Structure 1
Amino acid sequence: MKNILVLCTGNSCRSQMAHGYLAHFANPDTVKIYSAGVETHGVNPLAVAIMKEDGVDISKHTSNNVDEYFDIPFDYVITVCDHAKERCPFFPTQAVKLHHNFPDPSKVKGSTMEVIESFREVRGMIKEYCHDFIIKNELD
């Protein structure tokens, strides 16, 4: 079993979406996905809605702190924002650390439609990254 942790600042949007897509694309018999934040902000309802549009249900996800997972031997730790990368704790494993800074859609100011469109754009970026990661690492 391969263990993958997706780490973000608040485990609210980007890490939750990546968690959803990695679980969607990966073989559940051989891969376990976790997500966490260096803080916890709760799962963003708009992230849940935007993922549901694409057929991925993250409504039962919880916002977890990275400290909860120190005893898990991760194979990969993927940071999805620069802040989390800078604050990424040491894991006592040989985990491969990867980083991709995705824009934070929850920080977008504008009309409701502009915010929703930002979430959709970031969702598309995360979906592509996660799909490519699973294929490249033969985890499907």
Structure 2
Amino acid sequence: MPTKKLGVYPELLTSIEKARQLIIPEDRIRVLNPLIEYIQSKIDQGQEINLNFICTHNSRRSQFSQIWAQTAADYFGIPANCYSGGVEITAFNERAVASIKRSGFKVSAKGDANPVYYVFHSDDKEAITAFSKLFNDPINKGSQFAAVITCSHADENCPFIPGTEKRIPVRYEDPKEFDNTSEESAKYDERSLQIASEMFYVFSNVKMPA
């Protein structure tokens, strides 16, 4: 159960419950353990928790990861700051935006070419600000953060990330390959739900001081 009751939107709560029922394979648990250990170490030391989820275009997987990680952190009352970024600027993909809306998030947007989306999981917290940006964009924490790498291209082609304390690969398959197919919506929702499941697993295994 969450340590702090949030007024999570009912449709989103249904998605969270569905995500938490998914079984996470042992090989994925091994991938997630370094992230749990990093967060726990920051709590144990009384330090700020900053996570920057990084993928090449900051358009799909890293956006899903930021949104679900921040939602999970808030759900369990973990004081984490979750960001995202890339090595190229594109846009928060409209298919991914549609998927988080289907999950039950409330979303508003501002702008055209690279819109800024304001993503709400409840009325109790400020919006998660989501748009495509470089990992070192001023909106992100510039030092004392963990770089959580969500795609193989960024992991292999971005060997040095200034300001990071730890680099943690947590790769996900790209739903982009299903764009413009009959499986598009289902595959985006499948990837989003997987990420939700894993981020909720991570934060459910973090222990706050009594």
- TM-score category of the 2 structures, normalised to the smaller one: 0.7 to 0.9
Give the drift of 1:40. Answer: 1.5
> With structure 2 as the length reference, what TM-score do the two structures score?
0.58
Number of residue pairs aligned between Structure 1 and Structure 2: 137
Distance change in 2, residues 1:71/1:54 (3 Å): closer
> Where do 5+ consecutive residues of structure 1 fail to align?
none
Matched, 1:39 2:91: no
Match of 2:183, SS state, is helix
Residue 62 of structure 2 corresponds to which residue in structure 1?
15
> With structure 1 as the length reference, what TM-score do the two structures score?
0.84
Match of 2:163, SS state, is coil
Q: Is the 8 A contact 2:78 2:203 kept in 1?
A: no
Give the drift of 1:82. Answer: 0.5
CA distance in 1, matches of 2:154, 2:91: 16
Give the drift of 1:62. Answer: 1.1
Distance change in 2, residues 1:48/1:35 (3 Å): same
CA distance in 1, matches of 2:173, 2:63: 14
Distance change in 2, residues 1:75/1:92 (3 Å): closer
Which aligned pairs between 1:69-84 and structure 2 lie closer than 5 A?
A: 72-84=142-154
The one-character-per-residue Cα deviations of 1:62-119 (angstroms, maximum 9, x if unpaired) are 11112325862243211111111113333334x23211221111222553x3111110
